[in-house]
Structure 1
Amino acid sequence: MNRSVYAYNDFMKDILARFKFRGDTALADLFKKDVQSAFKRSFSIKEPVLVPIPLSKERLKERGFNQSMMLASMIGGPILEPLIKVHQSKQSKKRKNERLHQQNLFQLRQSNPIVLKDIILIDDIYTTGATVYHAAKILKDAGAKSVSSFTLIRS
Protein backbone atom coordinates (compact mmCIF):
# COMPACT_ATOMS: atom_id res chain seq x y z
CA MET A 1 0.00 0.00 0.00
CA ASN A 2 1.31 3.43 -0.92
CA ARG A 3 -0.11 6.71 0.29
CA SER A 4 1.03 10.08 -1.02
CA VAL A 5 0.56 13.66 0.05
CA TYR A 6 0.33 15.27 -3.40
CA ALA A 7 -0.42 14.31 -6.99
CA TYR A 8 2.22 14.90 -9.63
CA ASN A 9 1.60 17.90 -11.89
CA ASP A 10 3.69 20.63 -13.50
CA PHE A 11 3.78 22.69 -10.31
CA MET A 12 4.91 19.74 -8.17
CA LYS A 13 7.42 18.73 -10.85
CA ASP A 14 9.09 22.13 -10.46
CA ILE A 15 8.94 22.06 -6.65
CA LEU A 16 10.43 18.56 -6.53
CA ALA A 17 13.23 19.52 -8.94
CA ARG A 18 14.11 22.56 -6.83
CA PHE A 19 14.01 20.54 -3.61
CA LYS A 20 15.73 17.38 -4.76
CA PHE A 21 18.12 18.37 -7.54
CA ARG A 22 18.91 22.01 -6.76
CA GLY A 23 19.24 21.58 -3.01
CA ASP A 24 16.49 24.02 -2.00
CA THR A 25 15.83 22.19 1.25
CA ALA A 26 13.96 25.18 2.71
CA LEU A 27 11.03 24.06 0.53
CA ALA A 28 10.52 21.16 2.94
CA ASP A 29 9.01 23.59 5.44
CA LEU A 30 6.22 24.31 2.94
CA PHE A 31 4.90 20.77 3.02
CA LYS A 32 5.69 19.75 6.60
CA LYS A 33 2.12 20.21 7.92
CA ASP A 34 0.63 18.43 4.89
CA VAL A 35 3.08 15.54 5.33
CA GLN A 36 2.24 15.17 9.00
CA SER A 37 -1.54 15.30 8.54
CA ALA A 38 -1.53 12.99 5.49
CA PHE A 39 0.58 10.47 7.39
CA LYS A 40 -1.78 10.49 10.39
CA ARG A 41 -4.81 10.07 8.09
CA SER A 42 -3.18 7.25 6.14
CA PHE A 43 -1.70 5.02 8.84
CA SER A 44 -3.24 3.70 12.02
CA ILE A 45 -0.34 1.36 12.79
CA LYS A 46 0.40 1.52 16.49
CA GLU A 47 4.21 1.64 16.36
CA PRO A 48 5.40 2.02 12.77
CA VAL A 49 9.10 2.09 11.97
CA LEU A 50 10.03 4.62 9.31
CA VAL A 51 12.62 3.54 6.76
CA PRO A 52 13.68 6.32 4.39
CA ILE A 53 14.76 5.11 0.96
CA PRO A 54 18.55 5.46 1.02
CA LEU A 55 20.72 7.15 -1.57
CA SER A 56 23.92 5.60 -2.85
CA LYS A 57 27.11 7.13 -1.42
CA GLU A 58 27.73 8.77 -4.78
CA ARG A 59 24.25 10.32 -5.00
CA LEU A 60 24.39 11.50 -1.37
CA LYS A 61 27.72 13.19 -2.02
CA GLU A 62 26.31 14.81 -5.16
CA ARG A 63 23.15 16.16 -3.44
CA GLY A 64 24.46 16.74 0.07
CA PHE A 65 21.28 15.41 1.72
CA ASN A 66 18.78 12.58 1.51
CA GLN A 67 15.34 13.98 0.72
CA SER A 68 13.62 10.82 2.01
CA MET A 69 15.36 11.18 5.38
CA MET A 70 14.18 14.80 5.57
CA LEU A 71 10.59 13.65 4.95
CA ALA A 72 10.86 10.88 7.55
CA SER A 73 12.12 13.31 10.17
CA MET A 74 9.08 15.53 9.57
CA ILE A 75 6.80 12.66 10.54
CA GLY A 76 8.47 11.78 13.82
CA GLY A 77 8.82 8.37 15.36
CA PRO A 78 11.54 5.76 15.13
CA ILE A 79 13.64 5.91 11.96
CA LEU A 80 15.84 3.00 10.92
CA GLU A 81 18.28 2.71 8.04
CA PRO A 82 18.55 -1.03 7.37
CA LEU A 83 19.05 -0.65 3.61
CA ILE A 84 22.03 0.33 1.49
CA LYS A 85 21.42 1.67 -2.00
CA VAL A 86 23.52 0.16 -4.77
CA HIS A 87 24.75 2.95 -7.04
CA GLN A 88 23.17 2.95 -10.50
CA SER A 89 22.25 5.53 -13.08
CA LYS A 90 19.51 7.98 -12.09
CA GLN A 91 15.98 6.63 -11.96
CA SER A 92 14.66 9.81 -13.56
CA LYS A 93 16.70 9.04 -16.68
CA LYS A 94 15.19 5.57 -17.12
CA ARG A 95 12.04 4.53 -18.94
CA LYS A 96 9.26 2.78 -17.07
CA ASN A 97 10.19 -0.64 -18.44
CA GLU A 98 13.83 -0.18 -17.39
CA ARG A 99 12.79 0.82 -13.86
CA LEU A 100 10.49 -2.16 -13.45
CA HIS A 101 13.12 -4.71 -14.50
CA GLN A 102 16.06 -3.49 -12.44
CA GLN A 103 17.60 -5.86 -9.95
CA ASN A 104 19.68 -5.52 -6.82
CA LEU A 105 18.76 -1.90 -6.09
CA PHE A 106 19.33 -2.41 -2.37
CA GLN A 107 21.30 -4.51 0.06
CA LEU A 108 20.35 -5.24 3.64
CA ARG A 109 22.65 -3.67 6.21
CA GLN A 110 20.94 -5.15 9.26
CA SER A 111 17.82 -7.21 9.80
CA ASN A 112 17.43 -7.56 13.58
CA PRO A 113 15.69 -4.20 14.17
CA ILE A 114 13.04 -4.84 11.49
CA VAL A 115 12.01 -8.39 12.37
CA LEU A 116 8.26 -8.50 13.12
CA LYS A 117 7.95 -4.71 12.77
CA ASP A 118 5.46 -2.71 10.72
CA ILE A 119 7.66 -0.80 8.30
CA ILE A 120 6.71 2.30 6.37
CA LEU A 121 9.09 3.18 3.57
CA ILE A 122 9.46 6.92 3.02
CA ASP A 123 10.34 8.36 -0.40
CA ASP A 124 9.89 11.57 -2.32
CA ILE A 125 8.03 10.28 -5.37
CA TYR A 126 6.15 7.15 -6.39
CA THR A 127 6.33 6.78 -10.17
CA THR A 128 6.31 3.13 -11.24
CA GLY A 129 6.57 1.66 -7.75
CA ALA A 130 9.81 -0.14 -8.62
CA THR A 131 11.91 1.47 -5.88
CA VAL A 132 9.33 0.74 -3.20
CA TYR A 133 8.78 -2.79 -4.51
CA HIS A 134 12.49 -3.70 -4.37
CA ALA A 135 12.98 -2.19 -0.90
CA ALA A 136 9.80 -3.82 0.45
CA LYS A 137 10.77 -7.23 -0.88
CA ILE A 138 14.13 -7.18 0.88
CA LEU A 139 12.54 -6.04 4.14
CA LYS A 140 9.76 -8.64 3.99
CA ASP A 141 12.27 -11.38 3.17
CA ALA A 142 14.31 -10.26 6.20
CA GLY A 143 11.32 -10.70 8.54
CA ALA A 144 9.36 -7.43 8.58
CA LYS A 145 5.76 -8.00 9.69
CA SER A 146 4.38 -5.59 7.07
CA VAL A 147 5.76 -3.02 4.64
CA SER A 148 3.82 -0.02 3.31
CA SER A 149 5.04 3.19 1.74
CA PHE A 150 4.44 6.89 2.12
CA THR A 151 5.60 9.35 -0.51
CA LEU A 152 5.44 13.08 -0.93
CA ILE A 153 4.21 12.85 -4.53
CA ARG A 154 2.57 10.19 -6.67
CA SER A 155 2.59 10.39 -10.43
Structure 2
Amino acid sequence: MRCLICHVETIPDVTWVTFWKPSVQKKICQECEEQMDKITASFCPGCHRPGHEGVCHDCEKWEKTNPGLLERNVAAFPYNEFNKELVARWKYRGDFVVLDAYKEHLQNVWLSSFFKGRQVLSVPLSSKRLDERGFNQSEAISYALEEEPFSVFERSHSEKQSKRGRKDRMQSENPFRLLHPISDPVVIVDDIYTTGRTVRHMASLLKEQGCPSVSSFTIFR
Protein backbone atom coordinates (compact mmCIF):
# COMPACT_ATOMS: atom_id res chain seq x y z
CA MET A 1 0.00 0.00 0.00
CA ARG A 2 1.19 3.51 -0.76
CA CYS A 3 1.03 6.54 1.52
CA LEU A 4 -2.07 8.64 0.81
CA ILE A 5 0.00 11.81 1.10
CA CYS A 6 3.42 11.25 -0.53
CA HIS A 7 2.61 7.96 -2.33
CA VAL A 8 5.71 6.08 -1.16
CA GLU A 9 5.17 2.45 -0.26
CA THR A 10 4.31 1.89 3.39
CA ILE A 11 6.00 -1.14 4.95
CA PRO A 12 4.50 -2.38 8.25
CA ASP A 13 6.83 -3.09 11.18
CA VAL A 14 7.51 -6.76 11.84
CA THR A 15 7.44 -7.74 15.51
CA TRP A 16 6.73 -10.96 17.40
CA VAL A 17 3.11 -9.84 17.60
CA THR A 18 2.74 -9.13 13.89
CA PHE A 19 4.70 -12.29 13.04
CA TRP A 20 1.82 -14.42 14.35
CA LYS A 21 -0.94 -11.95 13.56
CA PRO A 22 -0.97 -9.92 10.35
CA SER A 23 -0.50 -6.19 11.02
CA VAL A 24 -2.93 -3.52 9.89
CA GLN A 25 -1.65 -1.81 6.76
CA LYS A 26 -0.97 1.87 7.46
CA LYS A 27 -2.45 4.47 5.16
CA ILE A 28 0.34 7.00 5.71
CA CYS A 29 4.09 6.62 6.01
CA GLN A 30 5.97 7.38 9.20
CA GLU A 31 7.59 10.54 7.81
CA CYS A 32 4.25 12.10 6.82
CA GLU A 33 2.66 11.03 10.10
CA GLU A 34 5.40 12.80 12.05
CA GLN A 35 4.98 15.99 10.01
CA MET A 36 1.21 15.96 10.50
CA ASP A 37 1.88 15.92 14.25
CA LYS A 38 -0.87 15.50 16.85
CA ILE A 39 -2.15 17.70 19.63
CA THR A 40 -1.47 15.71 22.77
CA ALA A 41 -0.23 17.29 26.00
CA SER A 42 -0.08 21.02 26.77
CA PHE A 43 -3.07 22.65 25.11
CA CYS A 44 -5.57 25.31 26.07
CA PRO A 45 -8.66 23.61 27.58
CA GLY A 46 -10.88 26.22 25.94
CA CYS A 47 -9.79 26.10 22.30
CA HIS A 48 -7.16 23.34 22.14
CA ARG A 49 -4.38 25.72 21.15
CA PRO A 50 -1.31 23.43 21.15
CA GLY A 51 1.72 24.06 23.30
CA HIS A 52 -0.15 26.19 25.84
CA GLU A 53 -0.43 25.64 29.57
CA GLY A 54 -3.80 26.71 30.98
CA VAL A 55 -6.40 28.96 29.36
CA CYS A 56 -4.91 31.05 26.54
CA HIS A 57 -5.23 34.82 26.20
CA ASP A 58 -7.70 34.53 23.30
CA CYS A 59 -10.10 32.39 25.34
CA GLU A 60 -9.83 34.72 28.32
CA LYS A 61 -10.70 37.64 26.06
CA TRP A 62 -13.64 35.78 24.52
CA GLU A 63 -15.07 35.06 27.97
CA LYS A 64 -14.85 38.74 28.87
CA THR A 65 -16.47 40.01 25.67
CA ASN A 66 -18.82 37.10 24.82
CA PRO A 67 -19.18 34.99 27.97
CA GLY A 68 -20.68 31.52 27.89
CA LEU A 69 -21.15 31.16 24.14
CA LEU A 70 -18.83 28.25 23.46
CA GLU A 71 -18.27 25.49 25.99
CA ARG A 72 -15.02 24.40 24.34
CA ASN A 73 -13.34 23.47 21.08
CA VAL A 74 -11.55 20.17 20.58
CA ALA A 75 -9.00 19.74 17.78
CA ALA A 76 -6.84 16.82 16.66
CA PHE A 77 -3.92 18.34 14.76
CA PRO A 78 -1.94 21.61 14.80
CA TYR A 79 -2.40 23.84 11.77
CA ASN A 80 1.29 23.73 10.84
CA GLU A 81 2.82 24.32 7.41
CA PHE A 82 2.62 20.65 6.43
CA ASN A 83 -1.08 20.48 7.28
CA LYS A 84 -1.79 23.78 5.53
CA GLU A 85 -0.54 22.28 2.28
CA LEU A 86 -2.71 19.20 2.77
CA VAL A 87 -5.76 21.40 3.42
CA ALA A 88 -5.09 23.19 0.14
CA ARG A 89 -4.90 19.85 -1.67
CA TRP A 90 -8.11 18.58 -0.12
CA LYS A 91 -10.23 21.70 0.15
CA TYR A 92 -9.25 23.66 -2.94
CA ARG A 93 -7.75 21.14 -5.38
CA GLY A 94 -10.16 18.26 -4.87
CA ASP A 95 -7.72 15.65 -3.50
CA PHE A 96 -10.42 13.99 -1.41
CA VAL A 97 -8.35 11.02 -0.20
CA VAL A 98 -6.28 13.39 1.96
CA LEU A 99 -9.06 13.36 4.58
CA ASP A 100 -8.56 9.60 4.96
CA ALA A 101 -5.02 10.26 6.19
CA TYR A 102 -6.49 12.02 9.24
CA LYS A 103 -9.49 9.78 9.74
CA GLU A 104 -8.21 7.22 12.27
CA HIS A 105 -6.83 9.78 14.72
CA LEU A 106 -9.83 12.05 14.20
CA GLN A 107 -12.17 9.26 15.24
CA ASN A 108 -10.06 8.50 18.31
CA VAL A 109 -10.09 12.15 19.41
CA TRP A 110 -13.82 12.36 18.72
CA LEU A 111 -14.52 9.41 21.00
CA SER A 112 -12.28 10.75 23.77
CA SER A 113 -13.96 14.18 23.58
CA PHE A 114 -17.28 12.72 24.89
CA PHE A 115 -19.17 14.61 22.18
CA LYS A 116 -20.70 11.43 20.80
CA GLY A 117 -24.46 11.51 21.32
CA ARG A 118 -24.79 15.25 20.78
CA GLN A 119 -26.42 16.68 17.69
CA VAL A 120 -23.72 17.38 15.11
CA LEU A 121 -24.17 20.63 13.18
CA SER A 122 -22.50 21.48 9.89
CA VAL A 123 -21.13 24.88 8.89
CA PRO A 124 -22.93 26.02 5.73
CA LEU A 125 -21.27 27.26 2.57
CA SER A 126 -22.80 29.80 0.24
CA SER A 127 -24.17 28.34 -3.00
CA LYS A 128 -21.30 30.00 -4.88
CA ARG A 129 -18.65 28.44 -2.64
CA LEU A 130 -20.35 25.05 -2.76
CA ASP A 131 -20.37 25.16 -6.56
CA GLU A 132 -16.67 26.03 -6.59
CA ARG A 133 -15.58 23.21 -4.28
CA GLY A 134 -18.19 20.61 -5.08
CA PHE A 135 -18.53 19.55 -1.45
CA ASN A 136 -19.00 20.94 2.06
CA GLN A 137 -15.89 20.24 4.14
CA SER A 138 -17.84 20.37 7.41
CA GLU A 139 -20.19 17.63 6.24
CA ALA A 140 -17.28 15.56 4.89
CA ILE A 141 -15.58 15.64 8.31
CA SER A 142 -18.81 14.65 10.05
CA TYR A 143 -19.18 11.61 7.80
CA ALA A 144 -15.51 10.71 8.46
CA LEU A 145 -16.47 10.70 12.16
CA GLU A 146 -19.37 8.41 11.24
CA GLU A 147 -21.87 11.05 12.31
CA GLU A 148 -24.90 12.43 10.47
CA PRO A 149 -24.64 16.24 10.31
CA PHE A 150 -27.69 18.47 10.68
CA SER A 151 -28.04 21.61 8.60
CA VAL A 152 -29.84 24.29 10.62
CA PHE A 153 -28.02 27.38 9.30
CA GLU A 154 -27.77 29.27 6.07
CA ARG A 155 -25.05 31.71 5.07
CA SER A 156 -25.86 35.23 3.90
CA HIS A 157 -22.66 36.00 1.96
CA SER A 158 -19.86 34.13 0.18
CA GLU A 159 -16.73 35.99 1.30
CA LYS A 160 -13.89 33.61 2.17
CA GLN A 161 -12.76 33.77 5.80
CA SER A 162 -9.27 32.70 4.71
CA LYS A 163 -8.92 35.93 2.72
CA ARG A 164 -9.67 38.12 5.73
CA GLY A 165 -7.18 39.30 8.30
CA ARG A 166 -7.55 38.53 11.99
CA LYS A 167 -8.94 42.00 12.80
CA ASP A 168 -11.52 41.81 10.00
CA ARG A 169 -12.62 38.36 11.15
CA MET A 170 -13.08 39.47 14.72
CA GLN A 171 -15.13 42.51 13.71
CA SER A 172 -17.21 40.82 11.02
CA GLU A 173 -20.99 40.80 11.18
CA ASN A 174 -22.73 37.50 11.75
CA PRO A 175 -23.03 35.86 8.30
CA PHE A 176 -25.40 33.11 9.46
CA ARG A 177 -29.13 32.74 9.94
CA LEU A 178 -30.59 30.04 12.19
CA LEU A 179 -33.40 28.22 10.40
CA HIS A 180 -34.90 26.63 13.51
CA PRO A 181 -34.00 26.42 17.23
CA ILE A 182 -32.41 23.40 18.93
CA SER A 183 -33.12 22.52 22.54
CA ASP A 184 -30.38 19.87 23.00
CA PRO A 185 -26.59 20.21 23.42
CA VAL A 186 -24.81 20.45 20.07
CA VAL A 187 -21.32 20.28 18.60
CA ILE A 188 -20.36 22.25 15.49
CA VAL A 189 -17.94 20.36 13.22
CA ASP A 190 -15.52 22.25 10.96
CA ASP A 191 -12.02 21.98 9.53
CA ILE A 192 -10.07 24.79 11.22
CA TYR A 193 -10.42 26.82 14.42
CA THR A 194 -8.51 30.06 13.80
CA THR A 195 -9.96 32.93 15.82
CA GLY A 196 -13.11 31.15 16.97
CA ARG A 197 -15.33 33.81 15.45
CA THR A 198 -17.16 31.48 13.05
CA VAL A 199 -18.33 28.99 15.67
CA ARG A 200 -19.21 31.81 18.09
CA HIS A 201 -21.34 33.50 15.43
CA MET A 202 -23.27 30.24 15.19
CA ALA A 203 -23.28 29.67 18.95
CA SER A 204 -24.75 33.11 19.62
CA LEU A 205 -27.77 32.36 17.43
CA LEU A 206 -28.25 28.94 18.99
CA LYS A 207 -28.01 30.31 22.53
CA GLU A 208 -30.47 33.11 21.79
CA GLN A 209 -33.01 30.45 20.80
CA GLY A 210 -32.53 28.31 23.91
CA CYS A 211 -29.76 25.82 23.06
CA PRO A 212 -28.28 24.77 26.43
CA SER A 213 -24.69 24.01 25.32
CA VAL A 214 -22.59 24.61 22.21
CA SER A 215 -19.14 23.12 21.58
CA SER A 216 -17.08 22.66 18.45
CA PHE A 217 -14.83 19.99 16.99
CA THR A 218 -12.21 20.76 14.33
CA ILE A 219 -9.44 18.88 12.58
CA PHE A 220 -6.97 21.71 13.14
CA ARG A 221 -6.13 24.39 15.67
Q: Same fold (TM over 0.5)?
A: yes
Map of 1:105-144 to 2, 5 A cutoff?
A: 105-111=175-181, 114-115=182-183, 117-144=184-211
Displacement of 1:148 after TM fit? 0.2
Work out which of the two has the higher radius of gyration on C-alpha atoms and give 1 or 2. Answer: 2
1:51 is matched with 121
Amino acid at match of 2:118: P
1:37 is matched with 108
Structure with the bigger percentage of helix: 1
Amino acid at match of 2:158: Q
CA distance in 2, matches of 1:143, 1:81: 17
CA distance in 1, matches of 2:145, 2:138: 11
Amino acid at match of 2:160: K
Where structure 2 has 5 or more consecutive residues not aligned to the other structure, the ranges are 1-71
**1:146 matches 2:216:** no
* TM superposition outliers: structure 1 runs of 4+ over 6 Å: none
**1:72 matches 2:139:** no
- Specify whether residues 78 and 67 from structure 1 end up closer, same or farther in structure 2 by C-alpha distance, changes over 3 A only: closer
Provide TM-score, normalisation by structure 2. Answer: 0.65
Tell me the C-alpha RMSD between the 2 structures. Answer: 1.3
Amino acid at match of 2:213: S
- Specify whether residues 46 and 2 from structure 1 end up closer, same or farther in structure 2 by C-alpha distance, changes over 3 A only: closer
CA offsets 1:93-140 (integer angstroms, 9 cap, x no match): 1110100111121001222xx22x110000100111111110111111
Structure with bigger RCO (C-alpha 8 Å, 6+ apart): 1
Where structure 1 has 5 or more consecutive residues not aligned to the other structure, the ranges are none
| Count of residues paired in the alignment | 150
Contact 2:189 2:216 in 1 (8 A): yes
